[in-house]
Structure 1
Amino acid sequence: MSLRWKIFWEMRQRSQIPSLQVMVRNYNTCKECSTEKKYGSSKNIKNPMLYTTCIAVAASVLGISYYTLKYKRNVYAFNTTQNIKYGQLQKDMKTFTLEEVGKHDSKEKGIWVTFGQGVYDITEFVDKHPGGSSKIMMAAGGSIDPFWMMFANHNTSEIHSLLESMRIGNISEEDAKSNKSNLYDPYANEPVRHKALKINGNKPFCAEPSPSLLVESFLTPVPFFYVRNHLPVPEIELKDYTLELAIEGTTKKTLDFKALNKYEKRTITAAVMCGGNRRSEMSKVKQLKGINWNVGAVGNATWTGVRLCDVLKDLGVNEDAFNHVQFEGYDLDPSGMPYGASIPISKAIDPRADVILAYEMNGETLSQDHGFPVRVIVPGVVGARNVKWLSKINISKEESQSQWQQGDYKGFSPSTTWNNVDFNKSPAIQEMPVVSAICDPQDTDTIEIKNGKIQVKGYAWSGGGRKIIRVDVTNDKGKTWHTADLTEDLQANEGRHWSWSLWNVELPVDKKSREVEIWAKAVDSSYNVQPESFNNIYNIRGLLCNAYHKIKVQLKQ
């Protein structure tokens, strides 16, 4: 039994806290907790502060944090009275001044924060926060609003509910306005994006192109390349850029952009795909909370820069002494922690792995959204490891301890739920599985039959440098299959097929049909093939979504 579980059960016994099954509810459907007579209110608990602490520990046990709570179906349903308006004035509570709140900025004095007009005592919660205490402590004695501006997609009713359970009072309307007027929007200077991108999230920015745009060219134009940011885009002047090289956290060398350019210049063609690409389809099996990607969270480009193995060679790195190469970006969270990820050192130092510290994309300087001035391109690996705005490379025996390496971008069994998930037992996603998608036509489109056939186009890709050897397409639910024609990178060497393949096929259709369902599946050079259904590959994070792609279209006679 883990320490967190032991603490939880000890506190449950001491305070007569109900079981996790009672406390954990579906926030949208729970009716039992809608009155104060149930365990949804701390008023029925003998020790309210201990109750709040227990809730925090239970949250930690289930992995709830400001980073991961948004993905959970089951959430804590306390303080769920429908009349509660989070962060607004509660007339039956005491009003504090900002000066009084500001004095409570340590464990000794108590840790208070404000949100809107609310005042909250989070002292007992701080050490139980799965994301660590450092981020919360930056808000100690002040407003938490700026943090929720940074992580706008976590500013949810579920987290509001958790915070409200710790509420102790109000601040005045005037003080609340003062707090708001002093807010700095970290997304105020974001770059301009092309209007053709479909926005899936604004803060941080996440967007994808229309599927039909993807198959217009083998190389994806930069303005149409999907954007997956985890934090605000940093503003970096080229003259000020430095890249830190470290071993076990100790800096060994610092390179500026000119020094980096002294290494031999290399160019590769590689696709980059988000781990959640096609999540919208998996969400039809069971509800998922996350970015609702269609098929466009992928792009194919040429990447020019220097090989990581050449840079590491100058450090005299011994592969046998280390296991991982960690990357950090210049994009920072409110506590000053950067986005981070890591890859196995065997891939990092292998010349045939073609890991690039890229400064050009499709022959042009990297754009802000895609990592200017330098980013990592790890071909064949999930997009999350291709760290943008690269600030540091650290050679280590350990994986990156970043939230995005340890508490996200991992796959699980279809039977794993948010009640029993253990991120420590699942390895971080590295190489991606074989996948394909139909891009033209799109689901529900009406298309014209020409000479008894319809034309279908799409892309296919496999991780690890595996070549796409075949794409099969059917319009009779697998009774007959048609092999598509492929457009691929003809210059790629064996085992280094980093780019996607575009495909097209003319499908014969019954002229009497008014609707047809089209399926597509790809096969790679290791004879890996896409699974038929999402049912058996469902996972709570909605990752690795590579089942057959299926669409229905109307036929125009």
Structure 2
Amino acid sequence: MVTRSLGRLAANILRRITQCNTAEPTVHRACGLRPRHLHTSAQRRAPADATARSTVPKPSTTRSRQIRNARAVPVSFLIGGSLLASIVALSQYRPPDNPDLNNTLPTPSTDSRDPSLPRYRLADIRKHDASSSEPWVTFEDKVYNITDWVAAHPGGDVILRAAGAGIEPYWDIFTIHKAPHVREILEQYLIGYIDQADLDADGRPPAEAVEDPFVNDPDRDSRLITHTAKPRNAEPPNEELDRTFLTPNELFYIRHHMWVPAVDEAKANEHALTVELPDGETRRYTLEELKTRFPTHKVTAVLQCSGNRRNDMTRHAGKTNGLQWGVGAISNAEWEGVRLSDVLADAGLQVADATAPTQKALSAPPSNNKADANALHVQFTGLEAYGASIPLVKALDPRGDVLLAFGMNGKPLPKDHGFPLRAVVPGHVAARSVKWLSKIVISDEESTSQWQRRDYKAFGPNEGANPDWDRARSIQEMPVTSAITGVWVGDCVRKGRVPWMAVKGIDEDNAQAPSPSRIVDMAAVEKKVGFTPKSSANTSPEPAQQQQQQQQQSHCSEKTPAEPIALQGYAYSGGGRAIARVDVSLDGGRTWDQAELVDDCTPAEGQAGCFGNKSWAWKRWRYTGHLPVLSPLPSGQTPLAHSGGSDCDDEEGRRSSQSKKHCTTLIVKATDDAYNTQPESHRGIYNVRGNLATAWHRVKICPKCTDNGDGKGVVWSTGETYGCGFKKEAKEVRDAMLRQGAGPAAAGK
């Protein structure tokens, strides 16, 4: 009798143990168990009524009974039952008659994934959608609780589109997320695996189709160099970047974090902007009201991404996270709109006089009950959820020229650049000039968005991949920088390939153009500088050509003659500081000369010059001189792999007569009117985000010696051009880093 009773007890114990040892989540809940990894911060801070809001189904009466029995298992096992009874009970045990449970129990022999993590059915995962208090997503066969990530993730609400389902379809659209550091962030929120019953033969859940939010994005100019298509991030090629002082709207660089919001052009004047003051009072303005009630102003200003020239820092200092911009994440435009300070005053904002003692270190308000502008921030929010902020003192500065802009280069804002309304914060990083502006809040803290708190900051070279974001200050005013955008050597200069140089005599035989001088239009010249793609054609010479080239070797001198060279580029400094000087070196920094600064802001005939209270625009520069005499590279040194010429005049019939490379490094650096100058190396300013890559811009050129085709000798021309914004020279940079003692780890980054 006792034995039978103990046998029944043991059988009951084993049945409960078997049910509670399964990794299926509903059984875990029925047994009153919670794996330790499920205690997220969101659950710890859940209110007392969280059970009422939970999406987890309430256990049935049978399951409630199982809970009570399961909690009694350890005690019951200790106080009763023999080993023999346990063995007998185990031999007689059959799973409970529960088809759903039987179908969800994983088979240990076929599920080799981490057994300490629970398994979740897709039906349960779908309950954790955007409406759930605890949104989940899946990636491959894993499940993630993104409750805490939503608040910190760029866009916040955007990621909720994937809640309750797989995140892969969205990452296939937002390709920028396909990066190791993004996966590392996601792994922090891992809570378990998708149940094996819901996986295909390849170990993945069925693919899902999602709506593409980028389907209505505008068409873009084909000349732009695209880094990511969705969202679109693109820069103009070097030969187009600073061809004109004002960057054409269609060539202005594009930096998006999400899709372009859809705004009905016919109803653009109805677009609303909400302004919220520190006391919570709000005021609403339509675009039509902004245009008619406030004075209109123009400002000529650069917008520059903090990641401009990030590719330069990556190749010369170490691995960086982010879009690998060349030198084109910067553009210059004439903006038209109303002053933010005028709108804030109209909305009722009152602050203490700028000359009054500040209260930054005190918690009490000033005696006149007016807020201290030094302690406040202007938070901007766009229609697509992007957010950023600037100090209020910048917005109120009568010389700060902060605009709520609705015009760009004499036209309405393009869709890619903020239509119908955007903020323009001259002299500051472009991340603060929020597009598609819909809301402004005057607050005692910076914007709480990811872009303000966990991005657009810079760190020390030693701070590694996980810096202290809270300690670093947000980037506001930009430092001084410059870049080379065009190089022409030898015959390229003599024959008028430089767009801004007047060249005499080249049209003397042209009856249609009797003028002895003209300026060559680069649009009609085949692209030879900047981002020149490698030709896919087979350019290997025939044996007869090889023999002819060998015969022509004698035409090329061992050393290059002092060939003419022309350079062009831009320089810029934030905070309204003007560029005072641009220094150029043609021999790697051993000797220096000064470039000519182009005067684009002096009003010319039919032009209005520059607008604004300070120097917000870039300064274009030009330089002409003669290259030093170059010797061929030492025997065995081949740092540059041939990848297609960037010559200016690779005309049919010309063949390279050069067997050895003659190379030199061109350098540019700028100094502003406060005598701030660029650092020499990216090593000293390296940061894992690759922000503010402002070191000297170096471009290596290897002039080319070619047969001039008339049997009378050879000519030298531009040849190969390497550097950020031009061809990649990753192998050369790696070799140089190894020679300088950086070690293979750094060189491999």
Q: TM-score, with normalisation over the residues of structure 2?
A: 0.57
Query: 5+ unaligned residues in a row in structure 1: which ranges?
Result: 1-46, 58-89, 332-337
Pairing of 1:423-502 with structure 2 (within 5 A): 423-441=469-487, 448=492, 450=494, 452-487=563-598, 488-490=600-602, 491=609, 496-502=614-620
**In structure 2, C-alpha distance between the alignment counterparts of 1:48 and 1:554, rounded to whole Å:** 66
What is the CA distance between 1:555 and its match in structure 2?
1.8
Cα RMSD, aligned residues only = 3.4
**In structure 2, C-alpha distance between the alignment counterparts of 1:509 and 1:138, rounded to whole Å:** 58
Distance 1:264 1:149, change over 3 A: farther
Q: In the alignment, which of 316, 323, 331 is matched to residue 299 of structure 1? A: 331
Matched, 1:276 2:307: yes
**In structure 2, C-alpha distance between the alignment counterparts of 1:156 and 1:91, rounded to whole Å:** 31
Distance 1:91 1:274, change over 3 A: farther
- Partner residue in 1 for 2:175: 152
Matched, 1:167 2:188: no
Distance 1:300 1:476, change over 3 A: same
Q: Give the residue type in structure 1 aligned to 2:271.
A: Y
Q: Give the residue type in structure 2 aligned to 1:489.
A: C
Q: In the alignment, which of 152, 168, 175 is matched to residue 131 of structure 1? A: 152
**In structure 2, C-alpha distance between the alignment counterparts of 1:158 and 1:485, rounded to whole Å:** 43
Indicate the percent of aligned positions where both proteins have the same amino acid: 39
- Partner residue in 1 for 2:165: 142
Pairing of 1:233-312 with structure 2 (within 5 A): 233-238=260-265, 239=267, 240-248=270-278, 250=280, 252-262=282-292, 263-284=294-315, 285-312=317-344
Q: Which has the higher strand share?
A: 1
What is the CA distance between 1:492 and its match in structure 2?
5.4
What is the CA distance between 1:97 and its match in structure 2?
5.9
Report the 3-state secondary structure (helix = DSSP H, G, I; strand = E; otherwise coil) of the residue aligned with 1:148. Answer: helix
What is the CA distance between 1:212 and its match in structure 2?
1.8
**In structure 1, C-alpha distance between the alignment counterparts of 2:343 and 2:330, rounded to whole Å:** 28
Q: In the alignment, which of 624, 638, 663 is matched to residue 506 of structure 1? A: 624
What is the CA distance between 1:136 and its match in structure 2?
6.5
- Partner residue in 2 for 1:22: none
8 Å contact 1:457–1:503 — kept in the other structure? Answer: yes
CA displacement 1:376-413 (0-9 Å, x = unmatched): 11111001001000011111111111110111101111
8 Å contact 2:234–2:255 — kept in the other structure? Answer: yes
- Partner residue in 2 for 1:50: 36
Matched, 1:525 2:673: yes
**In structure 2, C-alpha distance between the alignment counterparts of 1:447 and 1:433, rounded to whole Å:** 37
8 Å contact 2:563–2:627 — kept in the other structure? Answer: yes
**In structure 2, C-alpha distance between the alignment counterparts of 1:110 and 1:555, rounded to whole Å:** 62
Alignment length (residue pairs): 466
Q: In the alignment, which of 208, 213, 216 is matched to residue 180 of structure 1? A: 208
- Partner residue in 1 for 2:741: none
8 Å contact 1:270–1:498 — kept in the other structure? Answer: yes
**In structure 2, C-alpha distance between the alignment counterparts of 1:107 and 1:361, rounded to whole Å:** 40
- Partner residue in 1 for 2:703: 555
Q: In the alignment, which of 417, 421, 431 is matched to residue 464 of structure 2? A: 417
**In structure 2, C-alpha distance between the alignment counterparts of 1:282 and 1:233, rounded to whole Å:** 30
Q: Give the residue type in structure 2 aligned to 1:50.
A: R
Report the 3-state secondary structure (helix = DSSP H, G, I; strand = E; otherwise coil) of the residue aligned with 2:440. Answer: strand
- Partner residue in 2 for 1:67: none
User: Could you say which structure has the larger radius of gyration?
Assistant: 2
Report the 3-state secondary structure (helix = DSSP H, G, I; strand = E; otherwise coil) of the residue aligned with 2:171. Answer: helix
- Partner residue in 1 for 2:522: none
Report the 3-state secondary structure (helix = DSSP H, G, I; strand = E; otherwise coil) of the residue aligned with 1:376. Answer: strand
8 Å contact 2:339–2:401 — kept in the other structure? Answer: yes
- Partner residue in 2 for 1:212: 239
Distance 1:110 1:241, change over 3 A: closer
8 Å contact 2:225–2:236 — kept in the other structure? Answer: yes
Distance 1:102 1:249, change over 3 A: farther
Matched, 1:324 2:377: yes
Which one is further off, 433-442 or 388-397? 433-442
- Partner residue in 2 for 1:24: none
- Partner residue in 2 for 1:189: 216
Distance 1:475 1:266, change over 3 A: same
What is the CA distance between 1:474 and its match in structure 2?
0.7
Distance 1:357 1:95, change over 3 A: same
Q: In the alignment, which of 449, 452, 459 is matched to residue 405 of structure 1? A: 452
**In structure 1, C-alpha distance between the alignment counterparts of 2:672 and 2:703, rounded to whole Å:** 31
**In structure 2, C-alpha distance between the alignment counterparts of 1:158 and 1:512, rounded to whole Å:** 44
8 Å contact 1:244–1:255 — kept in the other structure? Answer: yes
Q: Give the residue type in structure 2 aligned to 1:304.
A: E
What is the CA distance between 1:540 and its match in structure 2?
1.4
8 Å contact 1:472–1:481 — kept in the other structure? Answer: yes
CA displacement 1:301-335 (0-9 Å, x = unmatched): 1011111111111022123414111111011xxxx
**In structure 2, C-alpha distance between the alignment counterparts of 1:110 and 1:347, rounded to whole Å:** 39
Q: Give the residue type in structure 1 aligned to 2:208.
A: K
Distance 1:346 1:160, change over 3 A: closer
What is the CA distance between 1:527 and its match in structure 2?
0.6
What is the CA distance between 1:446 and its match in structure 2?
9.3
**In structure 1, C-alpha distance between the alignment counterparts of 2:435 and 2:149, rounded to whole Å:** 31
Matched, 1:359 2:406: yes
What is the CA distance between 1:472 and its match in structure 2?
0.6
**In structure 2, C-alpha distance between the alignment counterparts of 1:56 and 1:159, rounded to whole Å:** 21
Distance 1:309 1:102, change over 3 A: same
CA displacement 1:48-104 (0-9 Å, x = unmatched): 9435879999xxxxxxxxxxxxxxxxxxxxxxxxxxxxxxxx963899764343345
Distance 1:158 1:405, change over 3 A: closer
**In structure 2, C-alpha distance between the alignment counterparts of 1:219 and 1:111, rounded to whole Å:** 46
- Partner residue in 1 for 2:23: none
Distance 1:101 1:192, change over 3 A: same
